[in-house]
Structure 1
């Protein structure tokens, strides 16, 4: 993709809409929708890097109640011709094809390579990557197993959704949430993952979420790791203006 002059690519992650309750997350949702409404004026594309929802499960004919303002704004932006890309996180990993069929937004379950204005990017959510986090990696294999999803769908939504929402908030192993303090470059698994990737292929930028920490780390003179932070404590996002990626804070 070549970005026209005056246009930008935007990246955000970790809204966790619905947490800790629908009512408590509504002010954060309103702020996010306002941001979407503003960036649509110069957006060449928008990347949502996972955990937009604190829980998401697609039954055959049912999706979780709520989030109408967010979904409506995404539909409006996509219908206007602006590409939107969604990477599932550990809280919405049970996303299937609802976004693709209803909103025309492609959904990715693994990191994906992109090239913008001759700059190479590796983009994803970030959960379960790099060394360590063994307990969560095992749990993720269970959750992503087709049999597990098939069994879970037989729970009535009035049981399955509140149960999953409760576990999402309370159980750190299930949620995959890590310590939200910077652990140093040697202790950050995503940084180790990026450095390992650079051993076999060059990327100008690595864009991830998951850590809930806005981070910008130089991996080399020509490669940078950026974590987009979250929309709970920091309200941060990244933008690429065709030349460089900048980490910014939304202040309406």
Structure 2
């Protein structure tokens, strides 16, 4: 049976890390004040900047603080989690301690009487064939088992190396062709259509792309709505304006909530 609730808040791509204290504090406030006002919270991946194993979190005071905030939230509001591309190694030990329920990517849910298909979003970026090959490789259980057997310091070094390479590659692509890079790193209509069709749904909600919007889309005769969640960043004023938002769904419909101003 799919999860059902009368009201929900959906968030993704917070990329929590000790180096972003303002963003982290807004998340702690969200867990304490905003989230308990609804029946369910759905976190659609990339809650953390990276995750190299549940055992590694035991050595991180910051991740332990996040764990306590999530456990407190789960005691008040049903909390669901979908893996992102940065935290797909988040495992059952951490989930059990936080009280969160793991959902497959994608998953159908029912909120206020309407069905929505929830996903992180990276699997829908099929124009980036290199990334999809990488994604398929690192999701293999045997490779994950090998990685998690490495010393924690090695795992963190590998994660930081991959993050640096990813950022450098994005910067090279962006400088070469902004429009081409936007297409490559965004979801494709073909992927959205196929995923929605396979789940008999016409409403899709995802994160990952950091391009918050509400779309009315079509592919052939297939029609659907797509909502994209915002990333959170309150710590880099030199960049775009501070951002932190959630999607609220209840009997009144679907609307974005600006958490920067609240």
TM-score range, shorter chain: 0.7 to 0.9
Contact 2:206–2:227 at 8 Å: present in 1 too? yes
CA distance in 2, matches of 1:216, 1:209: 12
Contact 1:15–1:53 at 8 Å: present in 2 too? yes
> Does 1:239 pair with 2:248?
yes
Partner of 2:228: 227
* 1:37-186 superposed matches below 5 A: 37-58=32-53, 61-63=55-57, 65=60, 66-80=62-76, 82-129=77-124, 131-172=126-167, 183=182
CA displacement 1:8-52 (0-9 Å, x = unmatched): 30000001112xxx2x21221011211222213411100001001
Gaps of 5+ in 1: none
CA distance in 2, matches of 1:113, 1:56: 25
Partner of 1:12: 11
After superposition, the CA RMSD in angstroms is 3.0
Contact 1:9–1:239 at 8 Å: present in 2 too? yes
* 1:174-213 superposed matches below 5 A: 183=182, 188-199=186-197, 202-213=200-211
> Structure 1 pair 99/153, CA: closer, same or farther in 2 (3 Å)?
closer
Gaps of 5+ in 2: 234-241
TM-score using structure 1 length: 0.82
CA distance in 1, matches of 2:103, 2:53: 15
Tell me how many residue pairs correspond in the alignment.
Answer: 239
CA distance in 2, matches of 1:53, 1:133: 23
TM-score using structure 2 length: 0.79
Contact 2:196–2:204 at 8 Å: present in 1 too? no
CA displacement 1:96-126 (0-9 Å, x = unmatched): 2123321221223410011223311000101
> Structure 1 pair 229/109, CA: closer, same or farther in 2 (3 Å)?
same
Describe the SS at the equivalent of 2:251: coil
Write 1 or 2 for the structure with the bigger share of helix: 2
Contact 1:207–1:225 at 8 Å: present in 2 too? yes
Partner of 2:237: none
